[in-house]
Amino acid sequence: MKPTGKMFDDFFKKVIDENMQTHNKEDKVKDFVDVLLGFLGTEESDYRVDCSNIKAILLDMMLASTDTSVAAIEWALSELIKHPRVMKNLQMGLESVVGIKRVVGESELDKLEYLDMVIKETMRIHPVGPLLIPHQSMEDCNVRDFFKSKKSRIIINAWAIMRPKCLD
Ligand code: HEM
């Protein structure tokens, strides 16, 4: 565990150091790390933002974005393999909008309605975070017949919400 932690720490330190060198250049297109560096040394509410906070945010973003995307793509492909008719429809839609010689461009996503449906249905049947992440109520509240006092730990069963029959 410790060597892995050090490896990540060194990697993020390198990213931060490289960005610091170019951070103030006028012609630089600002990226996510630049935005975080803008908070360095400032006091955000009661917290002071330093390099270790930036490293922690980068690690959070990396973990939150990689495994989730990989799992969602693997589930989509596995469902498409099990449903050849849907795979064919999707391929036809992609071929007509994008063709077969290049990857999908962001500006084309609006036209790929069937792809949108495939992704949404995949995430409905196989939510990557079935219980989301734990939340906390900011004040006393009622959810239907249940009273939740301020600062209660709230776990949301997104898996069941996306299968309405399970809620009957
Ligand atoms: C298919 C891809 C993804 C799925 C299925 C997914 C799913 C989720 C879920 C279920 C949550 C918890 C939401 C909650 O409990 O309120 C979450 C939170 C989060 N995700 Fe993703 N995510 C994906 C991609 C990404 C990517 C690409 C990024 C960053 C580039 C990202 C960054 C985050 C962050 C920072 C949070 C915490 C938000 C907060 O503090 O409220 N996720 N994601």
Question: For 18-76, how does the pLDDT look when each residue is reduced to its tens digit (9 = 90+)?
Answer: 998 887 788 888 899 998 888 887 666 566 788 899 999 999 999 999 999 999 999 99
Q: What integer pLDDT is reported at residue 104 of this predicted model? A: 95
Question: Is the CB of 97 within 6 Å of ligand 1?
Answer: no
Number of domains in the chain: 3
Q: What integer pLDDT is reported at residue 27 of this predicted model? A: 83
pLDDT score of 167 more than 80: no
- State whether 57 and 100 are in the same domain: no
pLDDT class of 165 with cuts at 50, 70, 90 = confident
Q: What is the pLDDT of residues 84-122, one digit of tens each?
A: 999 999 999 999 999 999 999 999 999 999 999 999 999
- State whether 111 and 53 are in the same domain: no
- State whether 102 and 60 are in the same domain: no
Q: Find the 21 Cα to ligand 1 centroid distance in Å.
A: 30
Distance CA 6, CA 19 (A): 20
Q: Do the domain assignments include residue 77?
A: no
- Of 59, 63, 133, the residue with max ligand 1 atoms within 8 A of its CB, to mutate for a pocket test, comes to 133
Q: What sections of 38-166 are H helices per DSSP?
A: 51-82, 84-97, 113-125, 158-161
- State whether 7 and 27 are in the same domain: yes
Q: What integer pLDDT is reported at residue 46 of this predicted model? A: 67
Q: Do the domain assignments include residue 89?
A: yes
- State whether 106 and 145 are in the same domain: no
Do 86 and 118 form a contact (C-beta atoms < 8 A)?
yes
Rounded to the nearest 10 degrees, the angle between the axes of helix 2-22 and helix 51-82 is: 110
Maximum C-alpha span of the chain: 59
Q: Do the domain assignments include residue 93?
A: yes
Q: Find the 64 Cα to ligand 1 centroid distance in Å.
A: 6
Backbone angles phi, psi at 64, to 5 degrees: -70, -25
- State whether 105 and 140 are in the same domain: no
> Tokens for 75?
């589930």
- State whether 7 and 43 are in the same domain: yes
pLDDT score of 150 more than 70: yes
Q: Do the domain assignments include residue 162?
A: yes
Q: Do the domain assignments include residue 37?
A: yes
Q: Residue 57: how many CB atoms within 10 A of its CB?
A: 16
pLDDT score of 163 more than 80: yes
Domain of residue 91 covers 83-128
Q: Do the domain assignments include residue 45?
A: yes
Q: Do the domain assignments include residue 75?
A: no
Within a 13 Å sphere around the CA of 111, how many CA atoms are in the beta-carbon half?
12
Q: Which element (helix H / strand E) includes 143?
A: strand 141-143
Q: Do the domain assignments include residue 107?
A: yes
